Structure 1
Amino acid sequence: MKKILLLGIIVLSFLGHSQTIALQSFATGFNSLVEIANAGDSRLFVVQQGGLIRILNSNGTVNATPFLNLSTIISSGGERGLLGLAFHPNYTTNGFFFVNYTNTSGNTVIARYSVSANPNIANTTGTILMTITQPFTNHNGGSIKFGPDGYLYIGMGDGGSGGDPGNRAQNINENLGKMLRIDVNSTVAPFYTSPSTNPYIGVAGNDEIWARGLRNPWKFSFNRLNGDLWIADVGQNAFEELNKIASPLPNTGLNFGWKCYEGNATYNTTGCNPANTMTFPFYQYPLYSNGTCSITGGYVYTGSTYPNLQNKYVFSDYCDNRIRTIDNNGIVSTSVVFPNNDFVTFGEDYLGELYIAGISSGTIYKIIDTSLSNSEFDKMGFSLYPNPAKESFTIKSSDENLATKIDLFDLTGKLLLTKKLENNPENTIATTSLSKGMYLVTLETKNGTSYTTKLIIE
């Protein structure tokens, strides 16, 4: 394990759960990073609050020239700055992407940009679609994402200060404290329209609003496989909350409750609609309990490398530096502390693998599950020995369930070795070409079923 720690992997054992997560340092040297996005290929695009979008390649290198520099047109500091990035679903053909930033007056801007002839450099001139006045410096939201319907969703905070003094989150004539939804495929100014299915089209209320009652949705995401929407909403005094909206998303004008309710608890119900009209959290946890202070939303793991993480939503808290998972039954696992990071964003690559970043450390980690052993491995009559191994290890399988192929991966999911096995119960594999560390061994049987376990090489 000492070798693994030297390689930058820090194991986090989940309390009360057999699952174990490791964070592998993937890239360092970022300044106030607040978002990680992908454009449908192997690159990651890293958003720095000061105005830069930088390209992080799949080998961990960072391009010297920023993809885009907006530092001269933004306000920064505190919760302001360049905050969000989303690539158009048809980016490969139209080259459009969208950003969310606070301008020099402190107001939220949603703007469209395009990539140049060089795929690693964007054109510097953008088109402003929307400007939303911000009365205070905090609670600017920041996340923007394309939903499964092809529309751009925009998470807006309630305008700031504390306790939503302007009651903006409940006011349907204000875009603050809302989830907005717009169609960005218009070719005429203002280059967006409001979908006809938005709840306030043709009636009182702003056409852009899809849902209301949010305090500060610092990160939301869609499950890329089934379209479910997860919104992490930062609390006021009592609770941090997580909202889950199953796909297909309703068009009825959801109300997530703020400031009438904070989580499930009453906050200020003066003039509020009945509680049965509200959408209450899928999960909440106490604010300032064990060091928590501000939820950081993440993603449902939809990758293929780590089976134990599949169908679990992964999220964190800015202050306590712990990683949490929650499944569809609401069962939560919480890690031990991973100090000195201040986690503010997760990232998802085009394959569904997850990353996490700390605004203080400037480091992007790849999230790894080290408890990949399939519980069926031993049950089905397989064994691997010696483990830890030095120069070789032996795979033994039963006559009834004979292994036909072995694949060996490192903890990033990179395939290092594949070999067809001889038609006998025992096969020995040399390891002299491998470095010391932890690996994943997957056996495939003649019927195509796979079984995975861990291997340590000393």
Structure 2
Amino acid sequence: MSTNRIRGLVGALVLLLAVLINPGVAAATLPVGFTDQLVFGGLTEPTAVAFSPDGRVFVAEKSGLIKVFASLTAKTPTIFADLRTNVYDYEDLGLIGLALPPGFPTSNPYVYVSYTYDAPIGGRAPVYHDTCAVLYNCLTSGRLSRLRASGNVSIGEQVLINDWCQQSDTHSMGDILFGPDGALYVGGGDGGSGDVVDYGQLGSPSNPCADPPSPVGGPMTPPTAQGGALRAQSLRSSGPARLNGTIIRVNPATGAAMPGNPLISNPNQNARRIVAYGLRNPFRMVFRPGTNEVWIGDVGYHTWEEIDRVLAPTASPVRNYGWPCYEGAGRQPEYDATNLNLCESLYAAGPSAVVAPAYSYQHGQAIVAGDGCRTTGGAITGVAFYPASLGNYPARYKGGLFFTDLLRQCIWSIRPGSGGVPNPNYIEPFGSTVGAPVQLKLGPDCNLYYVSITNNSVRRYVYKTGSTSSCPV
């Protein structure tokens, strides 16, 4: 989830301290009538929250603990599951995704999680015990699992997918969510370096994920190398499809590709799962209400942050979002300079071969002039829609998209334009966050919630006396 070498939580804390002691950085104030309220405190590096229809609230912590609160007013949680042995809690890696299925808990008693697994694909955890002696030499992987709930405790983990080869300390698992079609959507990062151009040459031995054209330890040089960040382009590579840098649409009970996926007839099981690719670190996702559109907060590299829109996940062909050949407003200059074949052939096909971001913003520049938010770097870490007809937020927020940035520690809203689609011409600042936000979520009370990894809390924005209606969860 980081960029410009935010070394996980440690780096985020340093940046938070810099904000607090730097008198030149102003905090963006909330609009009149809004307050920022603490909901749950005393957590340890929380990363995600999920609301159950029965009133319970599940909170994931980066280490692999999942806690459950009896209600929004409960003060003390119960430990629902302890996955710390399996979770690789190192730098940006850990337990990231948490979701509850339709019908939970009565007809579908499962809690879904995605996390970095402390072992290579097919290995047995823990291998590294949440440490790494030499960066790029600690080969791990990603897991998608479901945990069967019995009351407030888990009675077992069913691993649905173990894939997403990981050679770095960032860009591992992303968000998980259920679509209106009942399918499970999962995001995964490219697994490459967050600091330098990475085409598989890093590590000792090099190419630890055995990306084409070489085996593990083989030479990985331009223009033929297809590893590292280029795993996000694996559908166009000479090797088998990888899940890195993709959004997949799978059966929640098995992890297999869902019928109707664009590549459902492909002989490769990973290709069958993929509904979007060419993403760097699709850390958070949300469906636009009333549609099948997926909106993605894709954490950027040295210059740009993106919000991407998958207009129709089951439509053919599978759309390519361009990373690492493209980013933000155009070609990614550092990867362009390496003259890699996978990028050069994409450039030759023209800009229409990739999907441009629905919105992107540049590091070092304010999102809205005078918004009072930091402009040093960027890391988009939350996206959430406000319903068009529910809740008591003012009319200008209805049907709009909220997004947040971990480094800038602010939230903005994009008001809808034609057809109810968020229009980047209508962006306005909403306010500051307490600590570093890593998720935005609409709550059952129609209030906007955020998870603060540095403040160890879950918080919400309440307008005046609170919500006047309930929202579906």
Equivalences for 1:58-457 in 2 at 5 Å?
58-91=71-104, 92-105=106-119, 106-116=140-150, 118=151, 120-123=152-155, 125-132=156-163, 133-162=165-194, 163-165=197-199, 166=227, 167-172=230-235, 173-185=241-253, 191-203=254-266, 206-246=271-311, 250-267=315-332, 268=336, 269-272=343-346, 273-289=349-365, 290-302=375-387, 303-308=390-395, 309-327=397-415, 328-330=422-424, 331-338=426-433, 341-369=435-463, 410-411=465-466
SS in 1 for 2:412: strand
Instruction: Report SS of the residue matched to 1:168.
Output: helix
Residue 144 of structure 2 aligns to which amino acid in structure 1? I
| Contact 1:54–1:63, Cα closer than 8 Å, also in 2 | no
Correspondence for 1:407: none
Q: Which has the larger Rg? A: 1
Q: CA deviation at 1:359?
A: 0.6
1:36–1:45: 8 Å Cα contact kept in structure 2?
Answer: yes
Please report how far the alpha carbon of residue 20 of structure 1 lies from its aligned counterpart in structure 2 after TM superposition. 6.2
Deviation at 1:46, TM superposition (A): 0.8
Q: Distance in 2 between matches of 1:337 and 1:143?
A: 23
Superposition deviation, residue 215 in structure 1: 0.2
Q: Distance in 1 between matches of 2:428 and 2:177?
A: 26
3-state secondary structure, aligned to 1:344:
strand
Quote the offset at 1:159 in angstroms: 0.9
Q: How many residues align?
A: 354
Q: List per-residue Cα deviations over 1:367-409 (Å, max 9, x = no partner).
A: 2245xxxxxxxxxxxxxxxxxxxxxxxxxxxxxxxxxxxxxxx
Counterpart residue identity of residue 313, structure 1 = L
Give the SS at the match of 1:241.
strand
Counterparts of 1:175 and 1:294, CA distance in 2:
22
Mapped contact 1:42–1:349 kept (Cα < 8 A):
no
SS state at 1:304 partner: coil
Q: Which residue identity is paired with 1:326?
A: I
Comparing 217-226 and 199-208, the one that deviates more: 199-208
**TM value normalised by structure 2:** 0.70
SS at match of 1:170: helix
Following superposition, the deviation at residue 19 of structure 1 comes to: 6.8
CA 1:249–1:193 in 2, change beyond 3 Å: closer, same or farther?
closer
Opposite residue 355 of structure 2, the aligned amino acid is T
State the one-letter code of the partner of 2:89: S
Q: Which runs of 5+ in 2 are unaligned?
A: 1-26, 120-139, 200-226, 236-240, 337-342, 366-374, 416-421
> Does the 8 Å CA contact 1:212/1:256 hold for their aligned counterparts?
yes
- Which of 24, 29, 34 pairs up with 2:47? 34
| Residue identity in the other structure for 1:232 | G
1:80-128 CA distance string (max 9 Å, x none): 2111111222323121221111222131011121111x2x2221x2111
Cα distance in 2 for residues equivalent to 1:276 and 1:159: 26
Q: Which amino acid aligns with 1:306?
A: Y
C-alpha separation in 2, matches of 1:54 and 1:365: 16
Cα gap change, 1:325/1:288 in structure 2, threshold over 3 Å: closer, same or farther?
same
- Counterparts of 1:108 and 1:69, CA distance in 2: 17
- Give the distance between the partners of 1:237 and 1:411, measured in 2 at CA: 39
Distance 1:141 1:74, change over 3 A: closer
Is the contact made by 2:385 and 2:442 (CA closer than 8 Å) also made in structure 1? no
Most deviating of 77-86 and 53-62:
53-62
Work out whether residues 412 and 429 of structure 2, in 8 Å CA contact, stay in contact via their aligned partners in 1: yes
Offset of 1:329 from its aligned partner? 2.2
Aligned AA (1:114) = R
Question: SS of the counterpart of 2:107?
Answer: helix
Letter in 2 for 1:281: P
Cα distance in 1, alignment partners of residues 437 and 288 from structure 2: 21
| Structure with the larger helix share | 2
Greater mean alpha carbon deviation, residues 286-295 or residues 323-332: 286-295
Measured in 2, the distance between the counterparts of 1:72 and 1:19 equals: 46
Q: Which consecutive unaligned segments of at least 5 residues does structure 1 have?
A: 1-10, 186-190, 371-409, 416-458
Paired with 1:98 and 1:59, the residues of 2 have a C-alpha distance of: 21
CA shift at 1:240, angstroms? 0.3
Looking at structure 2, the residues matched to 237 and 279 of structure 1 have their Cα atoms a distance apart, in angstroms, of 20
Native 8 Å contact 1:226 1:247 kept in 2 = no
Distance 2:267 2:198 in 1: 22
Match of 1:25 among 31, 38, 49: 38
Shift of 1:336: 4.8
CA contact (8 A) 1:38 1:348 kept: no
Show CA shifts across 1:223-274 (max 9, x none).
3443432100011111101012346863430111111211122113423143
> Which of structures 1 and 2 has the larger relative contact order (alpha carbons within 8 angstroms, sep 6+)?
2
Alignment partner, residue 373 of structure 1: none
Bigger CA drift: 55-64 or 209-218?
Answer: 55-64
User: What's the TM-score once normalised by structure 1's chain length?
Assistant: 0.72
Which amino acid in the other structure matches residue 109 of structure 2? G
Q: What SS does the aligned partner of 1:276 have?
A: helix
Matched-pair contact (CA < 8 Å) for 1:228–1:246 = yes
2: CA distance, partners of 1:20 / 1:234:
31
State the percentage of identical aligned residues: 28
Residue type of the alignment partner of 1:175: L
CA distance in 1, matches of 2:34, 2:293: 24
